[in-house]
Structure 1
Amino acid sequence: MKKRTKQLISSVLAGTLVLSAGTSIYAHDAFEGGSKGEGLVFDHDAIEQLDAPVEDGDKNVKHLHEAASIQLAEKDGVQNNTADVYAHQGFAYVGTHTANGANGGVRIFDLQDPQNPEEIGVIADDIPYTWQEKVIVKRVNTPHFNGDLAVVSLQQTSRNNANRPDSRGGMLLYDVSDPYNPERLGFYELDREITGTHELYLTRQGNKAIALLSNPYADYYTDGEQGDFQIIDVTDPANPEKMWEWDPRELEEVTEDFNGYHWDAPDGHTRPVFNHSVITDNNGHYAYVSMWDLGTVIFDIRNPENPEFLGRTEYADDQKGAAHSAALARGGNILIETREVANPHGEGYEDAYGYTRIFDISDKTDPQLLSEFTTELTFDFIGSTFANTVHDPKVHGNTLYLSYYSGGVLAVDITDPADPKEIGRYTPDQGNVWGVFVDRNYVLASDMGQGLKVLQKNNGNNNRGNGNRKTEF
């Protein structure tokens, strides 16, 4: 194992990369520039003027259609925009982004009647100058807590700002066993030098609960003292404790003078590296960490205090990395990796916006690329824009659902992972779809400007989704 060393960034790099304390981070590669948090946010009247969405489907999504569309309620006279979406036991949890000052919290929707969602509350909105992108909710049974636990990512809109001393980043934990009466349990707080936790995941191991955090640029901002990827013990949600963090300098291909962001890759490129996202398999045995141009890094976390590095995905010399998010299929033997590339050009790289790659990871030490899924958006060059890149993946059976910003939600048949085929698409008028989540008969989408979309997969009107509160999304 390599020894962690502190490194000063060269004056040339520092002059082109360092962000001031007043600069916001918007979850993509912030050092590359561009913002997706301040786009057009529709008020309720403006939404009424939009055209009907474009809906097209075949096979199991041939009846895919919009069953409901609801904008977030204004909060203190402010119209916030959405970030990711999650659902559990008949309730949707919608994160918020940075438009109009942020602090929109996580909105909770009752989906007992999915065709008429009702916004019933908000959590995680009490720490000033922050935004709440990601929320995961799972049933947890530990010696300290038995109920539905929500973990929420928290990011500062401007890190370490002397004029905002109460602003902090990290993870908030809530008891949402009764979503109508949620209760804050704990707060895992990061150093103010770090913007915060962007994405996170929650998993269970026996009677233990652990959270996995993605803290972009933590390594860079703290000069190697803290890791971008951390594992937190939340068995007692009121007292979260760090168990482990990862230093990529442990890999042979990452030198000890790595500055936390610029990686001198073996292919001759200086590539950006930071942790954007993380998921686990259903058993909490393996973690899949999206480390941008270092690829999707796979760990055995059955011992969460001493995980084992297994392998990672790699890129062609002319391919930007940008490993943004991941999903699993076929019992954890297939890995879907989405790459958020907003700038389709670059010297020495192919001309393309971000697209999806599919791997066989039956041997997790040696991921094998099976296919790459592109769309017409991938090669529609309209400048540096997030509109044409893929964003997040979710899998239900043999169907892969992709959130695709201006493209909306795409459904892809991955029955043959080596030959993925688009079978459906839902595109709202002037859409900007951030997140997607799959129910048995419903697909939820969060549109940054328009709020929560509920898409029905069948053609019937008698499925009221989760009215019995026993069907988990």
Structure 2
Amino acid sequence: MKSAFWIRTALAGALTFSVTGTTVFAHDELGGSVEKGDNLAGSELRVPLLEGSKNVGNLKEVAAVPLKELNGVKNSTADVYAHKGFAYLGTHSANGGAGGVRVFDMKDPSNPVEVSSFGGIEGTWQEKVIVKTVNTPDFKGDLAVVSVQQLDRNNPNTKGGFVLYDVTNPKEPKELGFWESPSPARGTHELYLTVQGNNIYVLTADCYADFYSHGENMDVSFVDVTNPANPETIYEFNPRDYIPEVSDENYDGYNWTDEEGIQRTAFAHSVKTDGTGKTAYLSYWDLGTIILDISDAKNPVYLGKTDFGSNVQGSAHSMDLAKGGNVLVETREVFGPVRNGFESAYGYTMIYDIKDKTNPKLLSTFKTDFTEKIPGGATVHDPKVHGNTLYLSHYSGGVRVVDITDESNPVETGSYIPSKSNIWGVFVDRNYVLASDMGSGLKVLQKNGYNPENVNNANKAR
């Protein structure tokens, strides 16, 4: 194991990094589309749907705080997470990355205060952060895991993977360990930290690891971090071993020909578990959401996966659970709505009944109605479920609030679209919704009671 500290120290003396030609990455980099959010950089595209509206439906903005500059560099914001009264914001690749995770004290939600940063590594960016309280013989306290992706995967002076920190005192984070991804891809794109009794695991999605390594490494790894100072890979998921319609003959780690002969794309984008840590959900683009029983994390059992119609671009990007784990909410990121042989549509949300995890059944879909008004920003991104309410980050479409009391009939009840909106992630924290805006930092939204009049006004404004 190489520590992130060692990497930073070596880079500081040996690396002069140029981001020329590398500041814009493909989210599906092999497919040639631009990195998520980056195509909204032009102000002519980043316009609000409801001009100047910050209190629509049941959300009210109570704070909007930009990230501090570090060493004279302004970083763009990535995902957001909250734990024990603190918000944790990842950072993206703008201006050379290395922005690390920014920690905000949320004691007063109307006045978040940035109190520390950690995990910034030269030549990389830190998009995803998960924080949980754990208790093992090797570590007791609040543990943070942060994804690390290289700006240039061919740069021998940088490494991808994830870094672990003790954030029991969020104002003074302490580095514990670093897991280096073995693949020649950029490193860990998204990840999840889960606890099974006395065991702690990090599940990683290293996009294109399978493809770039010619099958020697897999996109998804399970890493035992029970001792955070000594992460140990215990399992790699190979879809060829589990899914009957996937084999060496029709899948090369990225390009996949499905059972109907349709050319598709399959790679792991994100990973998550249920609350018990015993069921894993792998968002695998055109393979859908793959469901695994990981009660024995070294020997997972394939249960089933979601599916798409032959005319639907798959693009399973991320997911969340509802109704006690019996309903799966799957978001599909599609920036290019026109593709030969497929429906003309930006990415939208699909809701499945997974009471029988071996046979997910599509219950409904949720689509916004502003695709023509926000070109390039009309795709959904991440979902978060709280009770019977679904919160969706929607780039220029801001934050959408959806009532899923009847999961077969989702109804939008509110939206939040700030000026030049570019909302990456959402997270529900107490009576607040935190939103990360790529261009402008942390937004704090107070949840108000459902008001039909506000919803009707929002619909009229469209």
| Aligned mate of 1:155, from 116, 132, 149 | 149
Structure 1: runs of 5+ lacking an equivalent: 1-20, 43-50, 460-473
Distance (whole Å) between structure 2 residues aligned to residue 361 and residue 37 of structure 1: 31
Q: Pick from 163, 168, 171 the counterpart of residue 172 of structure 1.
A: 163
Structure 2 counterpart of 1:365, one-letter code: T
**For residues 182 and 369 of structure 2, what CA distance do their matches in structure 1 show?**
42
Contact 2:37/2:424, CA 8 A, preserved across alignment = no
Query: Which deviations, in whole Å up to 9, do the C-alpha atoms of 1:1-39 show, x marking residues without a partner?
Result: xxxxxxxxxxxxxxxxxxxx9756747312222234656
Q: Which residue of 2 aligns with 1:462?
A: none
Give the alignment of 1:229-308 within 5 angstroms: 229-250=220-241, 251-257=243-249, 258-308=251-301
Aligned partner of 1:223 in structure 2 is 214
SS in 1 for 2:30: helix
Name the aligned partner's letter for residue 104 of structure 2. F
Q: 1:55 and 2:55 equivalent?
A: yes
**Partner Cα separation in structure 1 for residue 40 and residue 333 of structure 2:** 20
> Is contact 1:82-1:449 (8 Å) kept?
yes
Aligned amino acid, residue 414 of structure 1: I
CA distance in 2, matches of 1:252, 1:41: 41
Q: CA deviation at 1:56?
A: 1.3
The residue identity in structure 2 corresponding to 1:94 is L
RMSD: 1.9
For 1:321-373, what per-residue CA distance to the aligned partner results, in whole angstroms no more than 9, with x for missing partners? 00000000011100000000000011100000000000000000000000000
Give the Å deviation of 1:265. 0.5
- Partners of 1:381 and 1:271 lie apart in 2 by 28
May I ask how many residue pairs the two structures share in their alignment? 420
- The aligned counterpart of 2:368 is 375
- The answer to whether the aligner puts 1:340 opposite 2:323 as a matched pair is no
Aligned match for 2:189, one of 178, 183, 198: 198
Residue by residue over 1:164-204, the C-alpha shift from the partner in whole angstroms, topping out at 9 and shown as x without a partner, is: x3211001000000001110000000136121000000111
1:431 to partner: Cα distance: 0.4
> Which residue pairs with 1:426 in the alignment?
416
Report deviation, 1:40. 7.2
- The answer to whether the Cα contact below 8 Å between 1:24 and 1:159 also exists between their aligned partners in 2 is no
Aligned-partner residue type, residue 110 of structure 2? Q
| Contact kept in structure 1, 2:329 and 2:383, CA below 8 Å | yes
2:117 is the alignment partner of 1:122: yes
In the alignment, the residues of structure 2 paired with residue 41 and residue 28 of structure 1 have an alpha-carbon distance, to the nearest angstrom, of 15
**8 Å CA contact retained: 1:168, 1:192:** no
Q: Which amino acid aligns with 1:175?
A: D
Shift of 1:100: 1.1
Partners of 2:36 and 2:319 lie apart in 1 by 20
Cα displacement (A) at 1:52: 4.0
> How far apart are 1:458 and its partner, in Å?
3.4
- Amino acid corresponding to residue 147 of structure 1 in structure 2: G
Confirm or deny: 8 A CA contact 2:134 2:141 kept in the other structure.
yes
Is contact 2:28-2:35 (8 Å) kept? no
Q: Which residue of 1 aligns with 2:458?
A: none
Among all aligned residue pairs of Structure 1 and Structure 2, give the percentage whose two residues are the same amino acid. 57
Residue 195 of structure 1 aligns to which amino acid in structure 2? R
Q: In 2, distance between residues paired with 1:311 and 1:351?
A: 28
Cα distance change of structure 1 residues 39 and 273 upon mapping to structure 2, 3 Å threshold: closer
Residue 12 of structure 2 aligns with which residue? Answer: none
Paired residue for 1:31? 30
SS in 1 for 2:175: strand
2:438 and 2:75 map into 1 onto residues whose CA distance is 9
1:259 deviates by 1.0
Structure 2 counterpart of 1:56, which letter? Answer: V
Name the CA distance, whole Å, in 2 between partners of 1:155 and 1:37. 17
Q: Distance between the aligned counterparts of 1:293 and 1:260, measured in 2?
A: 12
How far the C-alpha of 1:213 sits from its partner, in A, is 0.4
Is it true that 1:349 corresponds to 2:349 in the alignment? no
Amino acid at match of 1:445: A
Q: State the partner residue of 2:77.
A: 82
User: Which residue pairs with 1:18 in the alignment?
Assistant: none
- Whole-Å separation in 2 of the counterparts to 1:444 and 1:27: 26
Structure 2 counterpart SS, 1:434: strand
CA, structure 1 residues 39+372, in 2 after alignment: closer, same or farther (shift >3 Å)?
closer
C-alpha distance in 1, partners of 2:311/2:39?
Answer: 31
Letter in 2 for 1:146: K
Partner of 2:200: 209
TM-score by length of structure 2 reads 0.88
TM-score (norm 1): 0.86
Whole-angstrom distance in 2 between the partners of 1:226 and 1:24: 26
Deviation digits for residues 28-87 of structure 1, max 9, x if unmatched?
312222234656789xxxxxxxx7444211xxx3xx200100000011111111000000
DSSP 3-state at the match of 2:193: strand
Q: Which amino acid aligns with 1:339?
A: R
Letter in 2 for 1:178: N
**Conservation of the 8 A alpha-carbon contact between 1:151 and 1:202:** yes
Matched to 2:198, the amino acid is N
- Separation in 2 of the partners of 1:38 and 1:273? 22
List gaps (5 residues or longer) in structure 2: 1-19, 43-50, 450-462
Three-state SS of the structure 2 residue aligned to 1:151 is: strand
Give the Cα–Cα distance (whole angstroms) in 2 for the partners of residues 82 and 319 of structure 1.
Answer: 30
